Structure 1
Amino acid sequence: MAPSGTRTAVLFDFGGVLTTSVLAAFERLGADLGCDPRLPLRLLAGDRASGALLVAHEEGRIGELEFERGFAERLRAHGVAIDPAEPGIVGRIQGAMRPDRAMVELVARVRGAGYRVGLLSNSLGDDCYAGFDLPAMFDAVTVSGETGVRKPSRRAYEIACERLGVRPPDAVMVDDLEQNVNAAERAGLAGIVHTDAEATAAALKSVLRPSAQTR
C-alpha cells in the first residue's frame, strides 16, 4: 500500500461491503416470492409504512420478527402471497449473502498497515453478523440497532468516529450506498462508494496518510 492522502482511519460498512450485494439479496427475495424482483426494495424506499418498519428495526426499536411480520403485510398488500409457514424474510435475505473474502482481507491489510479501522453498520436482523468476529477484525464496532442511530444520520458517523478515537476529518467511510457516502462527506469524512475490493483498495491509497505506520 502506497497511500498519498491525509486520512488515518477507515470506517467500513457491513452488508454489501464485507458481504456480497445486499441489493442483489433483496432482488433474490422478490424473485423467490414470485413477484417483481425489485418490489421489496421499491417498497422499502417508497412505501411509507415499509420504510418506517425498516427504520424502526435498524434503530433497534422493533425486533426481527416484528419487522418481518409488518413487511410481509406490506408485501401482501401489494399482491405478494407469503405463506406464514415459509422461512423468515430476513433469514432469506441473509441466506442470499456471502462473505466477501477479498474485503475481509483488505480490512486486515489496512489495519496491519497501522490505520485504525471501524465498522459502521445499519443492522438488519437480530443475528446479522453471524460468522464474523467483529471485535477481532475492528478497533471499534458501531451498529445502529445498539446506538439507536442509523446512517445516513450525521450522528451515526460522529458516534463511529468517537468510538474509533478519531475526528471525522481524519476518517474515510467505505459504503456500497451512495447516499450513505454522501452523508459521510457532509459530516466531514472522505467517502468511497464500494463496488469491489480492488477498486476500494485503490481509492483508499489516494486518501490515506503515508505517515501512519503503526498504532
Structure 2
Amino acid sequence: MGSSDAAPTVRAVIFDYGGVLTTPTRESIQAWLAEDGIRPETFSAALKEWLSRKAPQGTPVHKLETGEITPAEFNETLAARLRTHDGSPVDPTDLLGKLFARMRPDPAMLDLVSQLRGSCVRTALLSNSWGNNYPWEDLDGLFEFAVISSEVALRKPDPRIYRLALERLGLAAQQTAFVDDGAPNIEAAQQLGMRAVLHTDPADTRAQLAELLPAGTVPQEENR
C-alpha cells in the first residue's frame, strides 16, 4: 500500500444478483424442499451433476442460464430428477418460482450500492439468470447497466461475459471490483485481473470494498 507498485484505483464495482443483493439463495431452497416434502439429496445430486466445477458443458443449468432452454423446459427436467419423501414424483409447475419464492432483496446491500453511486463509484449488474423475474423497481437507478446471462447467451464463469461488462464500462479489469457469492465466478474474475470480493455477508463485503476503493468512498455501516 502506498508504494509505486500500488494497484490502479478501482473506479467501478460489478455486482452479482442472487445471493449478493438478496437474502441467501440456499435459505429459499431449503424452505422450498421442506415445504414440498422433497428429498434434499435428490436436488443436491442434480445440482452437483449440472453445476459443479466438474460438470460438462451444456448441462440443463448451463442451457437455462444462457437462454437455450426455457424455464418451463428446465422445470420439467429438474422435476424428473426429484422425489418426495414418500417416493412420489414432483410436479414441475412453476418449480423455479417455488425455488426462489423466499429470496428477497437485501436492504443492506441495496444501501451499499446506493452509497457507492452517491460517491461517484460506477456500478453494474452481472447475473446468471435462472429465469428470474428481477425486481427492477428495487434496482432502479442503482446500476449503469445490467448484463443478464440469458440475454447475452453467455454465463459466468466464461471470461467473455466479464469482458462484455468491462467493455460496456470502458475500463480495464484492474480498475474494477467484482462481487459474487460463487468461488468459481470470483476466480474467473481474478484471472482477468479484476479485484474480486467473495460475498458472505453485507458487513464483510462493505469492509472489503473499503479496502479497494479510495478512502472515504465506502461509508461505515450505521449502527441499527
TM (norm. structure 2) is 0.82
Name the counterpart of 1:171. Answer: 176
Name the counterpart of 1:60. Answer: 67
Name the structure with the higher helix share. 1
What is the aligned counterpart of 1:83 among 88, 91, 104?
91
Q: Could you tell me how far 1:36 is from its partner in structure 2?
A: 3.7
Q: Does 1:124 align with 2:130?
A: yes
What is the SS of the residue equivalent to 1:20?
coil
What is the SS of the residue equivalent to 1:136?
coil
What is the SS of the residue equivalent to 1:18?
coil
CA distance in 1, matches of 2:130, 2:156: 13
CA distance in 1, matches of 2:35, 2:140: 34
What is the aligned counterpart of 2:157 among 126, 146, 152?
152
Amino acid at match of 2:10: R
What is the aligned counterpart of 1:100 among 94, 106, 125?
106
What is the aligned counterpart of 1:141 among 118, 133, 146?
146
Q: Does 1:70 align with 2:77?
A: yes
Q: Does 1:205 align with 2:213?
A: no
Return 158-167 or 23-32, whichever deviates more. 23-32
What is the aligned counterpart of 1:186 among 165, 188, 191?
191
Please list the CA deviations of residues 5-58 of structure 1 after superposition, one character each: whole Å capped at 9, or x if unmatched: 721110000000111111222233322332343542431222569x71111010
Compared CA separation, residues 117 and 131, structure 1 to 2 (3 A): closer
Please list the CA deviations of residues 38-92 of structure 1 after superposition, one character each: whole Å capped at 9, or x if unmatched: 542431222569x7111101001111111111111122599562135xx511111
What is the aligned counterpart of 1:115 among 116, 121, 124?
121
Compared CA separation, residues 38 and 191, structure 1 to 2 (3 A): farther
Q: Could you tell me how far 1:190 is from its partner in structure 2?
A: 0.9
What is the SS of the residue equivalent to 1:137?
coil
Please list the CA deviations of residues 136-187 of structure 1 after superposition, one character each: whole Å capped at 9, or x if unmatched: 2201210001011100111111111112222211111101111211111111
What is the SS of the residue equivalent to 2:126?
strand
Compared CA separation, residues 133 and 39, structure 1 to 2 (3 A): same
The one of the two structures with greater contact order (alpha-carbon pairs below 8 A, sep at least 6) is 1
Could you list the runs of 5+ residues in structure 1 that have no partner in the other structure?
A: none
Name the counterpart of 2:222. Answer: none
Identity of aligned residues (%): 38
TM (norm. structure 1) is 0.85
Amino acid at match of 1:16: G
What is the SS of the residue equivalent to 1:97?
coil
Name the counterpart of 1:40. Answer: 43
Amino acid at match of 1:95: A
